[in-house]
Amino acid sequence: MQYNRQETFRRTFEHPIPGTFRLIVDGENEADVEISKRGPCLIVDLSPSGMRMYSDLSIPLIPGHTVHLAIDVLLNDAPLTLVGHIVWKKPYRDGNQYGIDLKTDEMIEHTIIKELKMHSRNELAESKKKDK
């Protein structure tokens, strides 16, 4: 699946959301075998089917091999574990940005959309408080 930046419901965060990631053997579900320790990351944007994340850690990409990740993030006090694979990698500041194609089902997509909407409402409310 191609990384789709033009997806209709993609939320770019004004302040990236902190999270952690770990490499896993297979991307079928988050219970798959870990092959790395947890590393810190920042979620730059998120949609029901993909995300862009930043990490100062370099994840090696080997042509012809898929790198699967499990990403843990707390969005509006809702802990989410998202599983996907890296589609692209680009150097950025002191680290790299990664495009992640998420493996989701209807329930996970619904949860992501609900949490993104709530996050947007919370940001708007905070912005209005600052303007007063």
Q: Supply the CATH classification number for the domain 11-131.
A: 2.40.10.220
Q: Which of 92, 91, 69 is nearest to 82 (CA)?
A: 69
The pTM for the full model equals: 0.83
State how far the alpha carbon of 101 is from the alpha carbons of 16, 50, 77, 124, 130, in Å: 18, 5, 23, 28, 35
**pLDDT tens, position by position, 84-102:** 999 999 999 999 999 999 9
Tens of pLDDT, residue by residue over 59-80, are: 988 888 888 999 999 988 889 9
Averaged pLDDT score across all residues of the chain: 86
Which runs of consecutive H residues, i.e. helices, occur in 1-91? none
Alpha carbons 96 and 42: distance in angstroms, whole number: 11
**How confident is the model over 105-130, as pLDDT tens digits?**
999 999 999 999 998 888 888 877 77
With bands split at pLDDT 50, 70 and 90, how would you rate the model's confidence at 31? low
